[in-house]
Amino acid sequence: MIKVVKFGGSSLADASQFKKVADIVKAEKERKYVVPSAPGKRFKEDTKVTDMLYECYSLASTGKSFDELFTKIRERYQQIIDELSLDVSLDEEFAKIRSAFVSKAGRDYAASRGEYLNGILLAAYLGFPFIDAAEVIFFKNDGSFDSEYTNDVLSKKLKEYEYAVIPGFYGSMPNDTIKTFSRGGSDITGSIVSRAAMADLYENWTDVSGFLMADPRIVDSPMTIDTITYRELRELSYMGAGVLHEDAIFPVRLCGIPINIRNTNDPSARGTFIVAEAPTDRENTHNITGIAGKKGFCIISIEKDMMNQELGFGRRVLKVLEDNGISFEHLPSGIDTMCVVVNQLAIDGLEKKIIDELSRAVAPDKIEITRDVALIAVVGRGMKSRKGTAAKILTAVAESDVNIRMIDQGSSELNVILGIQQEDFEKALNAIYKKFVK
């Protein structure tokens, strides 16, 4: 049995967090490969080391003095070394990094040092070998991740090590320069390592006890989701439910390795399991998995009699948007009506032009743009097999006296998406949550 364990920045922010991490790793001998982030925030107003590195490099690359900030970064690591009494010196590493900053080694290189140095310290503390991610994680010339080559090299490498620490967030380009994933990318590294190790489980340790059914800033103390499928998670993350990097799902999904989101500060909590398939009947208490939403959309509504008989109508509408560089998010349609939901930022300033072009392209009877729309996605694999979910959602919203502008049910029957006026967002979300979770 092999478990890959990834620890986020707040789990490794200082020496006391390192101790919790070591206790967790050592508690199960199956926890063989450890993927650390860079030290994160120790308290609310604190700065993540990654952000300090970006800032420091931006000073260095514009020829400004960066020593003060560089020393602060050094001190963060030194404090961990001192408090854990580690027999490690990072002097040489920092000398190398300093001259690389001066010779402008790149922003990605700079940011990646956060994980690299933390990996060295964690490896020393755990007594595990250290594998530099630059030697096992690869990007292609166009900057995209080279999944197959990485998997080849990394899986061979891991066979040589029973236990190891592999820093998250970065890898190398064909010309040996360093490249990082996007922010929060250590989650992706953890997933890649899990695939290469053919792990039984990918544990992703963070500072919350799993995914919540709704955003706790909107709904008071929402319940934790016990089990969620990859696809449900994708729906919820698209709507802005954070915790895990979106791209972290793909490598493990390929081979069906479950992800378990756990809390470093509460290791006894079971957390959330993200799996390929999950039974729906276990959670028949509330029938939905989660609710998420986002503000900042626009609905373009088009009406025309006999629209359904007009060949190419939809294509002409979408072509206008495409020509203006606007992608659409949803496309619910009726018999003589069609709605296109787009991101408000994408259409800002172009409204009149779009209306004119659409009028010319399809000669509609009526065309209207509604701004300031929020979308709410109610997601649940249980919807497919149970009647009445949509009715319950709509009733909840109606009872809270909120007007629904758009309804869209994904063809997979995994979600119902509602469009409402932005100012009703919090009210509607709470109403739906309460209707399903008593």
- Name the residues that contact ligand ASP, by CB under 6 A: 9, 37-38, 48, 50, 114, 168-169, 183-187
Residue number, 206 or 415, with CB nearest to ligand ASP: 206
| Residue 32 or 245 with smaller CB distance to ligand ASP | 245
Shortest Å distance, C-beta 111 to ligand ASP: 7
- Minimal distance, residue 82 CB to ligand ASP, in Å: 22
Q: Report which DSSP code applies to 42.
A: S
d(CA 158, CA 139): 19
Is there a contact between 339 and 303 (Cβ–Cβ < 8 Å)? no
Give the residue with the Cβ less far from ligand ASP, 183 or 295.
Answer: 183
- Minimum CB–partner distance for residue 243 and ligand ASP (Å): 12
Helix, strand or coil for residue 262? strand
Which residue's beta carbon is nearest to the bound ligand ASP?
Answer: 186
Residues whose CB is less than 8 angstroms from the CB of residue 405 and which lie 6 or more positions away in sequence, other chains included: 299, 370, 373, 419, 420, 421
Look up residue 240 and give its two tokens. 């802005």
Considering beta carbons, is residue 33 or 313 the nearer one to ligand ASP? 33
As given in the structure block, the two tokens for residue 387 are 């009647």
Q: How far apart are CA 135 and CA 326, in angstroms?
A: 40
Q: Is the dihedral of CA 93, 98, 101, 102 positive or negative?
A: negative
Which is nearest to 118 in space by CA: 90, 96, 137? Answer: 90
**Identity of the residue, 21 or 38, whose beta carbon is nearer to ligand ASP in the bound complex:** 38
Q: Shortest approach of ligand ASP to residue 267 CB, angstroms?
A: 20
Task: State the Cα–Cα distance between residues 190 and 267, nearest whole angstrom.
Answer: 19
Nearer to ligand ASP among residue 190 and residue 210 (C-beta)? 190
Residue 206 C-beta: closest distance to ligand ASP, Å: 10
CB of 44 to ligand ASP, least distance (A): 16
CB 209 within 8 A of CB 266: yes
Which amino acid makes up residue 400? Answer: S
Residues with Cβ within 8 Å of residue 53, at least 6 apart in sequence: 38, 73, 110, 111, 113, 114
- Minimum distance between the CB of residue 50 and ligand ASP, rounded to whole angstroms? 4
Contact (Cβ atoms closer than 8 angstroms) between residue 148 and residue 113: no
Residue number with CB closer to ligand ASP (106 or 114): 114
